[in-house]
Structure formats: C-alpha cells, structure tokens
Amino acid sequence: MTDLRTPPVNDGDLFSARARQYALERRGQTIEILEAGCGWGHGLGLTDLDCQVVGVDADLPALRAHAEARTDLHARHLGDLRTVPMPPRTYDIVHAPYLIERVPHAELVLDRIVAALKPGGLLLVRLRDRGTAYGLVDRLLPGRQRRARNAGGLPPAVYDEIASRKGMQWYCMMRGLVITEEHASAQMLTAAGRATATLCRLIAAVTRDRLPGGHSEVAMVIRKPESRFARVI
C-alpha cells in the first residue's frame, strides 16, 4: 500500500491517466466503464478510445438532470444503488467520484460495484474523508448540507463509517483488493472558506492530528486481483 501524498496533478487527470494507460495496454478490446455516481461531475475523457460507458446513480432530480445531459454515457440506470443493474464481472474500470460518502449502505453498494468489476480491473475512488477535521465539521455543524451543495454543487454527504481513508483501507484488505495509489487533496476544505479551515486546524491540534486538518478528500487507485484464489467478490 502506498503512502498518502499530494498528487502532482488533480485527481481527474490522475484517474484519466490511469484509465487511459489501462485501455492502451488492452488495445483492440472494447473497454467497459461504469460511472458510479454519474449524476455529478464528468467522466474520464476517453472518448477517443473504444469504450462503452454506463452510468448509475441515485434517482434524485438534480442527479437525473445532470446524468441526462451527459453525452459520454451509452446507457444509464438511476435508482436505489442497492438494486440498479450492475452485472457481475462486466466492467474493466469503475470510476466512482464523490459517491461512497454520499450514499447510505455504502459498504453494500461498494460490494455490488466490486462484484461488477472484472478481475484485474481498476476501481477509481474519490471521497470526502469522514476521518478528517473537515469531515467532522461537515457532519456536525448546522447547515452542513447547504455548505456541501455550495462546494461545487456536490450532493450532501451521509458519511457511513466506511467513507474514510481508513475505512477504505479496511474494506480493501477484507476484500482482497490492492490499493496502488492514495492521494490527499483539500478542494472542499478550500471551498469552505478561511473560518472553516481555521476550525479544522484547531480540531487537528486538539486531537493531536487524529483528525487531520490539512485535507478533506482522498483519491484511491484500486486494483481487483486477477488470481482466482484471491479473496475478492
């Protein structure tokens, strides 16, 4: 497992680069991509390659409007993420930006996503880290949903226990998944303003950095092992 570090490029470029590398290594094959959380943000920018992209997300008005406006999706399924179609071992790449922390029953949803990934496939996850000072502030202070929505239009977070760096590390260890990269960023912390950043630094100091105050999100590049003996879903 790699150390948490600041990425040399933004997460979107990082994920696009890793996905493109994966696709080019399989030149001649159609790359199946699942956009898990297609109602917010953008895709991986692989429109020049032979890819089929399917999107899934919760069926909420704002998410539906965004998903319907996307031109990179070949199909989309909106509804309860515990039941929307995700056929087993179908996708080469799953891109899940800002999904894990904003859905209830996140571990069950993750199990379905991992099951839908082919052996050897990539899971690209970015999430607001519950285990940071920002995560505590965003969960507990009044108006957190308003602040979350204002931070780039991102849907508000639920923050199940698994929605953290340590939670994802535990999940991957238990499922036999390999985290090849971890990167911290502070996009939401910066967007929240100076007062919130100061409060987060204070919380970090009081907790002796048990709740870090320098970042608000973590991005992970995760690989599902190819070995049929691996402990994977």
| pLDDT value, residue 106 | 96
**pLDDT band, very low/low/confident/very high, at 11 (cuts 50, 70, 90):** low
**pLDDT band, very low/low/confident/very high, at 2 (cuts 50, 70, 90):** very low
List of residues 6+ apart from 179 with CB closer than 8 A:
1, 2, 168, 169, 172, 220, 221, 222
**pLDDT tens digits, 124-162:** 999 999 999 999 999 887 665 555 444 556 778 899 999
Higher local confidence (pLDDT), 154 or 207 = 207
pLDDT beyond 80 at 178 = yes
What average pLDDT does range 91-105 have in this prediction?
95
CB 131, CB 165: distance < 8 Å: yes
Max distance between CA atoms of the chain, in angstroms, equals 55
Question: pTM (2 decimals)?
Answer: 0.89
| pLDDT value, residue 10 | 53
| pLDDT value, residue 8 | 44
Which strand (E) or helix (H) includes residue 137?
Answer: helix 133-140
Task: Give residue 117's Cα distance to chain centre.
Answer: 15
